[in-house]
Amino acid sequence: MRFRFWALIVVGLLLVAVAGCAGGRSNVAPTPAPTKTLRPIFTSTPVAPTAVPPTATPQNPPTATPPPSPVLPPPEPPTAVPPTATPQPATFTVTSATVNIRSGPGTNYSRIAQVRQGQTFEITGKNPAGDWWQFDYSGKKAWVIGRLVTANATGSVPVAADIPAPPPTARPQPTAKPAPPKPTQTPAPTTKYRVGGLTERVNTNERITVYCQLNPNLTTGIGDTGAIRVTRGGGNVAPDHQFGSILNWANTGMTPENQFLYNENCKVELPLAAGTYSAYIVQNGQQASDPISFEVRGDIREFVLKWVLR
C-alpha cells in the first residue's frame, strides 16, 4: 500500500510541474527544487501462479456403453410326442359252443374241423364281403363265419389274395313224382299195365330223352316187351319204338345215384321243344297201358317212365 502512496505523490508532482510550464514564460530560471530521493519501503515479490496440470488426452475414444439386452421369456418346453402305439394283431374269439371251419368263405366249401367256444385265433384275411375271416389252423388256411365269433382290431385286415374258387354247384337230384292225375277221358278198361312212376332228370343236351321200364323184375333183370308211343297234342311225335325185355343200366360212367334201369332199346330221343308230352305202351298194335304225361321245361329234359302190371 505504501508503494502506491508514493507513486501517487510522484504523479501529482509531475502534474503540477507541467501545469506551471504551461502558464507563462519567465526569464529567470527557476531554481530547481531539491530532489528527494525516494526510497522504497519494501520490495513486492510477485506471487507465482499455481500451475494447473494439463488434462491427459485419452489415447482411445471412450467406448459407448451398449444398451441393455431385452429380457426374453424362457422358451417353452417342447411338446412331448406320444409314443406310437404298437398295432395289435387282428383276432377273433369263438363265442358259440362249436363252429365249423371251412376251406373257403362259404357253407358250400368243405368242412375242415370245428373250433370251440373261447378259442382265439389271429386273422390273416377276409372275403370281399367282410363276413368271413381267414386264419391259420394247424398249418392250413381255414375260414370261419363272422357272425359266430367276436373279432377285434379288424380295421386293417386285407382281402385275402388266395381265396379258393367255389366248388361247382351240385344239380338237384331228380325226385320221383307221383303218378299224374288221370286224364279226363275214361281210360280203356282193357289196358294191361298201370302207371308205376315218373322220374324227371336234369340234362343240358339239346334234345329230349325218354326211357321206359315195363314191368321190371329187379331179381331176374327182365321185364316185358312192347313198343313205346310218344305223343303231343294228340299226335305222334315219333314212330313207335320197339324194345326188348332185358334191363340195362343207364349212365354207367356216372355216380350210383345217377344210374337207373331201363328196358333194352327203350330209349327215345326227340328234338328239344318245351311243352307237355304223353306216352303209353303198345302191344300187338293196341294201347296196352295207361298214358303218362310229362312236361319239358328248362333243363328238365330227361324222363324215366315206368309201368307195372295191374
pTM over 0.85: no
On the question of pLDDT at 139 being above 70, the answer is yes
Among 49-58, 135-144, 176-185, 217-226, name the one with the lowest average pLDDT. 49-58
Phi, psi of 7 (to 5 degrees): -60, -40
Per residue in 261-310, pLDDT (tens digit) is 999 999 999 999 999 999 999 999 999 999 999 999 999 999 999 999 99
pLDDT given at position 164: 93
Mean pLDDT of the chain: 82
Per residue in 15-32, pLDDT (tens digit) is 766 555 555 454 445 555
Domains defined along the chain, listed by start: 91-152 (2.30.30.40), 176-309 (2.60.40)
pLDDT given at position 168: 86
On the question of pLDDT at 40 being above 60, the answer is no
* % pLDDT > 70, the chain: 72
Phi, psi of 142 (to 5 degrees): -120, 165
10 Å CB burial of residue 94 (0-12, 13-18, 19+) is buried
Per residue in 68-99, pLDDT (tens digit) is 666 677 777 777 666 666 778 999 999 989 99
